[in-house]
Amino acid sequence: TPDEEGKHVTREQTIIQRNREARRKCIEIYGYKCAACGKVMTDMYGELGKDFIEVHHRSPIHLFDDTHVVDPEKDLIPLCPNCHAMIHKLKDPGDVELLKSIIQESLGSIE
């Protein structure tokens, strides 16, 4: 039927490797606070959210032909899962300032 889910399919795919040490250094520099909305996952999830954050590449990593050196301070930024998903919807997924302004504008309309 059209609503069925769950079929197991095997597929081959190419992935782009991330550098765990660069991620660690980014978090060491910026902490676990989202650079866009300012949330820390413990604000919403308590202990479950402790030490959880996603790390975003300011320049999309898929645009590089091969390996390149990452500067954790300049090239990476911590984002919560929601902000990380939303920044990838922007025309320029490196524009954290635009995402911040969208959040501020949205919060202003709620108040």
Are 56 and 87 in contact by the 8 Å Cβ rule? The answer is: yes
Decide if pLDDT at 109 tops 90. no
Q: What is the pLDDT of residue 108?
A: 77
**89: amino acid identity, one letter:** K
Read off the pLDDT of residues 29-40 as tens digits, 9 standing for 90 and up. Answer: 999 999 999 999
What DSSP letter does each residue of 54-69 carry, written as one string? Answer: EEEESS-GGGSSS---
In the chain, the percentage of residues whose pLDDT exceeds 90 is 70
pLDDT at 110: 57
Please name the amino acid found at residue 69: V
> Bigger pLDDT: 94 or 14?
94
**What pLDDT digit, counting tens, does each position of 72-108 carry?**
999 999 999 999 999 999 999 999 999 999 999 988 7
Q: What pLDDT, on a 0 to 100 scale, did the predictor assign at position 38?
A: 95
What are the φ and ψ backbone dihedral angles of 100, each rounded to 5 degrees? Answer: -60, -45
Q: Quick check: 54 and 80 in contact, CB under 8 A?
A: yes
HSE-CB for 76 with a 13 A CA cutoff: 24
Structure-token match 């919560």, residue found: 80
* pTM attached to this predicted model: 0.83
| Spatial contact of 70 and 19, defined as CB atoms under 8 Å apart | yes
